[in-house]
Amino acid sequence: MGEWAVPQALEPASSGLAKTSEGKAAEVEALIAPALQAMGYDIVRVLLSGGERLRLQIMAERHADGGMNVDDCAEVSRAVAAILDVEDPIESAYTLEVSSPGIDRPLTRLVDFDRFAGFEGRVEMVNPIDGRRRFSGRLLGTRGESVVLDCEEGEVALPFAAMQKAKLVLTDDLIAASRHPDTPAEASAEKN
């Protein structure tokens, strides 16, 4: 995957609310996060999945610019493998997979919603709000600890703590911004 820089300054993942992992994956994240942050990377998500053969997926990005290339993935993979070989938090065999978040990335930290304001997003809540669990619309950023979307029905504020998952929606604007990282979402949307 190619590099993708984002024009806005990034905040460290630890500086705010995040839903980057849960369960055993959260234990793994707690072990590897200090080393990755010291290396200049932020964790986007840690996921442990699979049946007989587990897969440990780590999505990360460079703190400085939000990019992540093949060399970065290899560097993170070596560091994580070394830590996990010593700490051994997963009892059974697993495959380690390190990747960039991609263009239509998961939104796992509250700061992600400000960073990607202006782009289309999809949010799924743990429990229904006004009879709905799924919301789609243009991300407007955050208000306190809530995420604000401009949906067909109007503006909606969703509590971050009550979200199950969220991600960017692949659109022409998002693709254009990934090719021209110096273009803010608002400018890209105005061109269409």
Q: What is the pLDDT of residue 51?
A: 83
Q: What is the pTM of this model?
A: 0.82
Q: Is the predicted pLDDT of residue 190 greater than 70, yes or no?
A: no
Of the candidates 47, 46, 36, the one whose C-alpha atom is nearest the C-alpha of residue 79 is 36
Using alpha carbons, select from 96, 139, 131, 136 the residue that is nearest to residue 8.
139
Whether residue 81 is predicted with pLDDT greater than 60 in this model: the reply is yes
Count of domains forming the chain: 2
What percentage of the chain exceeds 90 in pLDDT? Answer: 79
Say if 39 falls within a structural domain. Answer: yes
- 123 and 161 in a single domain? The answer is yes
- What is the number of residues in the chain? 192
Token output for 7? 């024009």
Q: Check whether residue 17 and residue 89 sit in a common domain.
A: yes
Average pLDDT, the chain: 87
Q: For residue 16, what pLDDT is reported? A: 66
Task: Decide which of 14 and 36 is more confident.
Answer: 36
Question: Last residue of some domain: 99, 125, 159?
Answer: 99
Residue 85 lies in a domain: yes
Shared domain for 73 and 53, answered yes or no, is yes
CB neighbour burial string for 48-73, b if at least 16 within 10 angstroms, e if fewer: beeeeebebbbbbbbbebbbbeeebb
pLDDT reading at 186 higher than 80: no
- pLDDT class of 9 with cuts at 50, 70, 90: very low
**CATH classification at residue 117:** 2.30.30.180
CATH number at residue 85: 3.30.300.70
Whether residue 120 sits in one domain with residue 89: no
Of 39, 69, 99, the position where a domain reaches its end is 99
Task: Report whether 120 contacts 168 (CB < 8 A).
Answer: yes
Distances (CA, A) of 69 to 24, 80, 145, 184: 27, 16, 31, 21
Give 94-142 pLDDT, tens digit per residue: 999 999 999 999 999 999 999 999 999 999 999 999 899 999 999 999 9
Strand ranges in the chain using DSSP code E only, listed in sequence order: 41-49, 54-62, 94-99, 120-129, 132-143, 146-151, 154-159, 163-168
Question: What is the span of the domain harbouring residue 62?
Answer: 13-99
If asked whether residues 91 and 138 sit together in one domain, one would say no
